[in-house]
Amino acid sequence: MKDLLFLGEGAGPAFYVVGALATRFAVTRVFGNERLDQRADVMRRLDSFPILVLSDYDRGQLSDDLQRRVIDLVQRGAGLLMIGGWSSFGGARGSWHGSPLAEILPVVISDQDDRTNTPLGTVLQVVEPDHPAVAAIVGREPCCVCGFNDVRPRHGAQTLIAGYELRVSGALPSGAHFVRRETPMLAVWRVGSGRVAALAPDVSPHWAGGIVDWGETRVRLPTGAEVSDVYPAFLGGLCGWLAAE
């Protein structure tokens, strides 16, 4: 197994996402309330991680100097993923707008609170089925999420997953229709020798919606969480591509 550095989340939400990643990687955790520079054990190994994942990790927990160090790691071949949440992208609990790290993400982050709720659900639809990062979900029935960060794609980035929001404007069933959001639900690009992805939805409850139950077969993750099989396959496959497996 390759090593993966996971930054963010509390114990509860990480029960799902870290568990999913642990099916494919040896995960080292830095909790959302910890500053990276206060974890001497991780700092000693920072250059050795082939992939870093930020999920609900407040910008204030990662100094500008450390962000530049992460950028250097990516340029030399490491993978980077930011996952949506209240402390991700332009979220209210620590916006990354204007940060050094924001400059290498394949999306533009708003200077306003970009959290977006879609209580009827937004369906995730693969739009680039030949890309290896989404190979695990091609041909599978899509899932829906209930919240995401409303980012915009950068010029040169590739949108792999689009979002179609369900709206109801009259009596069912004729009053139901879908609207494609401008938000790229999953965008990727390359930075130097590395690969970077932005996953706009949260993948942990409550914002996650049905993503943790994506698939028909129930599986138990290394953390003990019970989910459906496509959930860990999707996250593991995406991070596998980012880590150049």
Q: Both tokens of residue 117?
A: 């709720």
pLDDT at 11 over 80: no
Write out the residue range of the structural domain in which residue 197 sits: 2-242
pLDDT at 2 over 80: yes
Task: Look at residue 136 in the predicted model and tell me its pLDDT.
Answer: 96
Residues 6+ positions from 234 with CB-CB distance below 8 Å: 134, 136, 137, 214
Question: Residue with structure tokens 């290896």?
Answer: 132
What domain count does the chain have?
1
Residues 6+ positions from 35 with CB-CB distance below 8 Å: 61, 62, 63
Pairing of strands 194-199, 51-55: unpaired
Distance between CA atoms of 14 and 175, rounded to whole angstroms?
38
Task: Look at residue 10 in the predicted model and tell me its pLDDT.
Answer: 85
What is the reported pTM? 0.96
Confidence of residue 191 (pLDDT cuts 50, 70, 90): very high
Which amino acid is it at 157? A
Confidence of residue 65 (pLDDT cuts 50, 70, 90): very high
If we measure between CA atoms, which residue out of 81, 62, 70, 31 comes closest to residue 200?
A: 81
Tens digit of pLDDT for each residue in 201-243? 999 988 888 999 999 999 999 999 999 999 999 999 999 999 9
CATH number at residue 161: 3.40.50.880
Q: In angstroms, how far is CA 50 from the centroid of its own chain?
A: 16
Task: Look at residue 205 in the predicted model and tell me its pLDDT.
Answer: 86
pLDDT at 92 over 90: no
Task: Look at residue 51 in the predicted model and tell me its pLDDT.
Answer: 98
Task: Look at residue 235 in the predicted model and tell me its pLDDT.
Answer: 98
